[in-house]
Amino acid sequence: MSIVQDQDITESVHLSEATPGDFLALLKPRVMSLVVFTALVGLVVAPGTVDPFTGFISILCIAIGAGASGALNMWFDADIDAIMRRTAKRPIPAGRIQPGEALAFGLILSGFSVATLGIMVNWLSAGILAFTIFFYAVIYSMYLKRTTPQNIVIGGAAGSFPPLLGWACATGAISIEPIVLFLIIFIWTPPHFWALALFACKDYGAAGIPMMPNVAGEASTKRQIFGYSLLLAPLGVAPALLGFASPIFGIVAALLGLNFLRHAWQTLRMADGDEKMTPAKRLFGFSILYLFAIFAGLLVDHIVSPFYPVIGG
């Protein structure tokens, strides 16, 4: 007698309809692109020259490591992703990928990226990459995100490591310069995410995530956004002050920082209960432009500064 006598076997066996695009979505390509960009800046700005092969392997492994931590994050956060409008269509809550598949995918890519970086580039950068994945997937996703309104302040460290990683890949060491690049992203993260949380706090509240506006209120969040912006503006100029970027970069960074402060000030002055939240939305939009401009500025400055020795020093 057949075991499957009168039962369609397809009902008891999970048959995946996941496409390669769904697995790509697990890697959070938009976050990955920012990681790749900031890591590339760290790699290029670092002293000395990196041969193209090593540079390519470094960026590839950092990108895959970032993607792996994104997949692990989506595996763990599938329950809250299903509640929030912004994340409900992700592959796991939408049912296109099983949680176990995402977990295996994330773990395999983590192991592959760390081991390859260690073997082909250096073990310092591999160690930092492993710590970054662990920090994002375990410390941030599994602990901080659901327990404290400081989640993105501390968790922001995970997103701050890429330029430091790029620098470590190029030099095999860590110095004050990549730490400054780390700090720029670290201090940028709270005003960026809290501006988003101000106008998306209902979504976060419904999912039970203790974002700052839900826990401390709008007024406190706006004050803290302004406080972090006050720290960020001079920090953006630090590469010029420390001598690894030109004074021209310093001027541009100072102007960008002042504009950031202006948006943060307008957000601070925004009336409590403002439904439109226009200043917060503008700050969120500008914060993305700010980070891109600072790192693109560093990259361009590093490339063109040898051609303006008199002006750039």
Partner 1 sequence: MVEPDKQQERVQLTPQQQKARRMRSIAIALVLGALVILFYAYTIRYFGNIGQ
Contact set with partner 1 (CB under 8 A): 1-4, 9-10, 13, 15-20, 23, 53, 57, 120
Decide whether 129 or 237 has the Cβ nearer to partner 1: 129
CB of 87 to partner 1, least distance (A): 22
CB of 93 to partner 1, least distance (A): 18
Q: Which residues contact 89 (CB under 8 A, 6 or more apart)?
A: none
Cβ atoms within 10 A of the Cβ of 47, count?
11
Decide whether 2 or 176 has the Cβ nearer to partner 1: 2
Decide whether 14 or 276 has the Cβ nearer to partner 1: 14
Q: Which two tokens stand for residue 100?
A: 């176990």
Burial of 150 (0-12, 13-18, 19+ CB in 10 A): middle
CB of 109 to partner 1, least distance (A): 11
Decide whether 51 or 272 has the Cβ nearer to partner 1: 51
Element (H, E) at 143: none
CB of 121 to partner 1, least distance (A): 10
Decide whether 17 or 275 has the Cβ nearer to partner 1: 17
CB of 24 to partner 1, least distance (A): 9
What totals of helices (H) and strands (E) does the chain contain, helices first?
Answer: 14, 0
Calpha distance 115→43 (Å, rounded): 19
Decide whether 15 or 271 has the Cβ nearer to partner 1: 15
Dihedrals φ, ψ of 280, to 5°? -65, -40
Q: Which of 242, 289, 241, 292 minimizes the C-alpha distance to 263?
A: 289
CB of 211 to partner 1, least distance (A): 36
Residue ranges with strand state E in the chain? none
